[in-house]
Structure 1
Amino acid sequence: MEESEPVSPTGQYFTSSVISVSVVAVLESQHPIDDSQTTSLLRHVFLPINPRFSSVMVKDKNGVKHWKKVEVKLQDHVKVPTFPQGKSPDFYDGCFSDYLSKVAIDQLPLTKPLWEIHIVKYPTTTAAGNVVFKLHHALGDGYSLMGALLSCLQRADNPAIPLTFPAFNAKTEARRADRSVCGSLGRAVSGVINTVCDFGWSLLKSSAIEDDVTPVRSGDEGVEFRPITISTLTFSIDEIKQVKASLGVVSASIFLPV
């Protein structure tokens, strides 16, 4: 990547003095983790995926941020935490939760490429080991970053075959194609109205109307400087289907970032 390539406006905003946003992903392993090949995999598989994984942000004389290619010191990006030995999985659940919260709140140094990998070798109640990926949002959006991580993985049954995911339901797509023109026009008009209403409501919320106090939003001053913790909640497929049926939405609409 050339030094002259500027950082996107979104990337500059996510690395401003006001906000710093990172994506944290956890990969659970069914087997104890062997990290002997970590350096080789990162250098030959992970880094070539995206030039930004081996670049840092620099400012030109006008204060505009650009990506600059640098030599990556992998040992500075791979962390292997140490917990007390010989404890139970329940004990390591607490250790891992506390460690994950610390990883989430610590900011990535801008003097190095904006990513880290944390290899947790201790067994929890849900996995024999965990790999935590922390990537700054300036590197890309969630879709591209997840695509980069998934491209590093291989199938257990046959590594030569690329990863596959369930395809769209052909019958559902056919039914959508058979809908009438009037129905399509109605949906288009409804979409325009909803967009205008949502945009107007967003303007009011950002300028004149204050958000309600909720269990998520306390309304207290300086809440962004308080310690945070990460909690997890597991839903079964049946529970997701029940919520989906009750709300009348697709499965992807059930999960919202908080």
Structure 2
Amino acid sequence: MGSPEIERDEPVTPAGRLFLRPEMDQVINCVIGAENPFDVDALKKEITNSMMLKHPRFCSLMVRDRHGREYWRKTEIDIDRHIIILNDSLDGDNDEDAVNGYLADLSVSSPLSTDKPLWEIHLLTAHKCAVVRIHHALGDGISLMSLLLACFRRSDCPDQLPTMGSSSQPKPRNSRRRNRLRELLNIAWFTLVFVVEFILRSLWVKDRKTTISGGAGVELWPRKLTTAKFLLDDMKTVKNAIPNGTINDVLFGVISAGLSRYLDHRAPNKLREGIQMTGVAMVNLRKQPGLQEMAELMQSKAGSRWGNKFGMLLLPVYYHKGLVGPLDYIKKAKTMIDRKKQSLEAYFSYKIGYFVMNFLGSKIACVLNYRIVCNTTFTISNVLGPGEEITIVGNPVTYIRANSTALPHAITMHMVSYAGRADLQILVAKDIIPDPKFLAKCFEEALLEMKEAAAEATSRS
């Protein structure tokens, strides 16, 4: 009779080790609003039996060997240690302000304890919401969103899991056959240009200083958090007015127009036309896992296929003094994004990071990543959530929003779409950007102006 198989500690992936560095220590905070107060016992039971807790990352401790190298070690889960219940009302003019204030505090002052698996759920019963905190070392945002949503069900079909949209757009086959040599030359050229820029950003090249610039040490400064709210139908109306436009084109057009509007308010007539403000975005390099595919990740050795596999993109937007039409912001953003799509910047940045982590160590990799953030202006992400309304333990979900631990940027933006809406969480260093609600209004008004311009353009055509 054979001896039972001994479970061995599994090494943390290179990207996971980077996120565990004290200088980075990234935690994703996902807040889920509900129509009714949560049934705590039912929620505990749902989570205990969920696919999430069948995944090895969510039932493993992060441990270090005598050389300081990080590993995952399987452990038993005590669900009561991971569910934190707060019954008292938080300070704020309304539920949204109170919850955003709580999240802002979490972003700079509340790391996850390493004596249990690196996740927890805060139930804010007075505000009918749950804050799911997951360390970035457990996986990238898209994979974690997919896994988290396995705890939910569709409102219209309570027996079915939610569906997640896809941001990919199939390319026409004819266009791929044409001008093959030109396409390859574009890939080579744009890859060379953007990879060189990426390397220079990690060394000394930086954005010009503005009133929204951060810098070294800003990740420790107190934060404010607010929410800009968009309708996906409005974004689609604008997208359809631009040939081959995408939601990401619209988002970056809104960011460019909104930041220009905000800078005009904060520093009128003090900035040069066309000044560049560079955003940092993480790009998933794997196929987005649908909920129906999550079972594959529960198989033996699935952990080796999990983790963080993403590249970094530098995405510039530009300040304009009101001389640019609303749709021109999107056209400029589209030109930039299309060039990025034609490059292999994300793959090269992943390979560069992998090389540095493996051969130079996590400390050097962290220094280089930290410098990239210090030399740019903002962080941006966009995650597609469920297209339909969903429930958890029978409780209808009213919103899904996400943000993360503070970075040296003074402004960090995370957009999540849900059931026809898109909420952009704007986390700012409040000593640099004291009025984030006005900034959110700049973004919202920029989209409405673009919608009006799109309607006019459609009526003329």
Name the TM tier (shorter chain). 0.7 to 0.9
TM-superposition CA deviations, 1:169-190 (whole Å, max 9, x none): 9xx74x7123252344433321
In the alignment, is the contact (CA less than 8 A) between 1:83 and 1:95 conserved in 2?
no
CA displacement at 1:29 relative to structure 2: 1.7
Matches within 5 A, 1:207-226: 207-219=203-215, 222-226=217-221
**2:60 and 2:34 mapped to 1: Cα distance?**
29
Corresponding residue for residue 181 of structure 1: 177
Corresponding residue for residue 99 of structure 2: 96
Corresponding residue for residue 24 of structure 1: 29
Corresponding residue for residue 126 of structure 1: none
Corresponding residue for residue 35 of structure 1: 40
**Count of matched residue pairs:** 247
Cα distance change, pair 177–31 in 1 and its aligned pair in 2 (3 A): farther
Corresponding residue for residue 188 of structure 2: 192
Cα distance change, pair 168–136 in 1 and its aligned pair in 2 (3 A): closer
The residue type equivalent to 1:122 in the other structure is: A
RMSD, aligned CA = 2.9
- Which one of 112, 115, 127 corresponds to residue 116 of structure 2? 112
Corresponding residue for residue 8 of structure 1: 13
Cα distance change, pair 18–166 in 1 and its aligned pair in 2 (3 A): closer
Corresponding residue for residue 327 of structure 2: none
Hey, which of these two has a bigger chunk of strand by percent? 2
Q: Give the TM-score taking structure 1 as reference length.
A: 0.82
Structure 2 SS opposite 1:96? helix
**1:134 and 1:109 mapped to 2: Cα distance?**
11
Corresponding residue for residue 164 of structure 1: 163
5+ long unaligned stretches in structure 2: 1-5, 253-379, 382-411, 413-461
Structure 2 SS opposite 1:23? strand
Corresponding residue for residue 81 of structure 1: 86
In the alignment, is the contact (CA less than 8 A) between 1:49 and 1:148 conserved in 2?
no
Q: Give the TM-score taking structure 2 as reference length.
A: 0.48
**1:247 and 1:218 mapped to 2: Cα distance?**
35
Cα distance change, pair 80–64 in 1 and its aligned pair in 2 (3 A): same
Structure 1 SS opposite 2:15? helix
Q: Does 1:133 align with 2:132?
A: yes
**1:214 and 1:9 mapped to 2: Cα distance?**
34
The residue type equivalent to 2:236 in the other structure is: K
Structure 2 SS opposite 1:80? strand
CA displacement at 1:133 relative to structure 2: 1.0
The residue type equivalent to 2:126 in the other structure is: Y
Corresponding residue for residue 294 of structure 2: none
The residue type equivalent to 2:117 in the other structure is: P
Corresponding residue for residue 68 of structure 2: 63
Structure 2 SS opposite 1:157? coil
Structure 2 SS opposite 1:57? strand
Q: Does 1:201 align with 2:205?
A: no
Structure 2 SS opposite 1:37? helix
**1:241 and 1:215 mapped to 2: Cα distance?**
32
In the alignment, is the contact (CA less than 8 A) between 1:54 and 1:113 conserved in 2?
yes
Cα distance change, pair 186–51 in 1 and its aligned pair in 2 (3 A): same
* Identity in percent: 28
**2:67 and 2:143 mapped to 1: Cα distance?**
30
CA displacement at 1:208 relative to structure 2: 2.8
Cα distance change, pair 79–168 in 1 and its aligned pair in 2 (3 A): closer
Cα distance change, pair 185–151 in 1 and its aligned pair in 2 (3 A): farther
The residue type equivalent to 2:150 in the other structure is: S
Question: Which structure is richer in relative contact order (CA contacts within 8 A, separation 6 or more)?
Answer: 2
**1:237 and 1:152 mapped to 2: Cα distance?**
25
**2:207 and 2:83 mapped to 1: Cα distance?**
40
TM-superposition CA deviations, 1:214-233 (whole Å, max 9, x none): 344234x5322211122211
**1:13 and 1:168 mapped to 2: Cα distance?**
27
